[in-house]
Amino acid sequence: MTFAEMPPAGLITADLETLRSYVGARGNQDDALLEARLIVAQEHVYTRTMPSRWDHNDVQEAILLLASRLYKRRQSPEGVAGFGGEGGVIRILAGDPDVAELMERHLDMTNAGLA
């Protein structure tokens, strides 16, 4: 699918209700935690993407995915997600390649710094 063939913007909205559903929250007891993670994810994504693309499905999905990741991350404070079959440690990656891929075509290169 080419960029021109992509679905129209606005079908996905990164808001508290959608995030609650995304992480499988059954009630609203974690709303404060979810809202905080949503704000952090929005700031992260919006500062890196073009404002004209903020309502695009890819950008909104990146926000939801990152907010979900941040919410779940509190369950693994040392960065350990679990243990493998032979006792090996399964670590959490520092970055999320899925979030990066979703944002890739929408990056605001006018704000890019030199490395």
Residue 20 half-sphere exposure, CB side, CA atoms within 13 Å? 12
pLDDT score for 83: 63
Query: Is residue 114 included in any domain, yes or no?
Result: no
Query: Is residue 80 included in any domain, yes or no?
Result: yes
pLDDT score for 1: 47
Could you read off the pLDDT of 61-109 as tens digits, one per residue?
999 999 999 898 876 666 555 666 676 666 666 678 899 999 999 999 8
Query: Is residue 87 included in any domain, yes or no?
Result: yes
State the Rg of the chain over Cα: 16
State the residue for tokens 């063939």: 5
The total number of structural domains in the chain stands at 1
Query: Is residue 4 included in any domain, yes or no?
Result: no
**Straight-line distance from the first to the last Cα atom of the chain, in angstroms, rounded to the nearest whole number:** 32
Of 7 and 103, the one with more pLDDT: 103
Of 92 and 16, the one with more pLDDT: 16
Residue 47 one-letter amino acid: T
Residue 43 half-sphere exposure, CB side, CA atoms within 13 Å? 6
pLDDT score for 6: 58
- Which pair of structure tokens corresponds to residue 71? 């919410």
Query: Is residue 115 included in any domain, yes or no?
Result: no
Q: What whole-number distance in Å separates Cα of residue 56 and Cα of residue 6?
A: 10
pLDDT score for 35: 97
- Which pair of structure tokens corresponds to residue 112? 């890019």
pLDDT score for 72: 85
Could you read off the pLDDT of 18-64 as tens digits, one per residue?
999 999 998 999 999 999 999 999 999 999 999 999 999 999 999 99
Q: Which domain holds residue 87?
A: 11-109
Query: Is residue 3 included in any domain, yes or no?
Result: no
Question: Taking a C-beta distance cutoff of 8 angstroms, is the pair 76, 67 a contact?
Answer: no
Question: Taking a C-beta distance cutoff of 8 angstroms, is the pair 36, 9 a contact?
Answer: no
pLDDT score for 110: 85
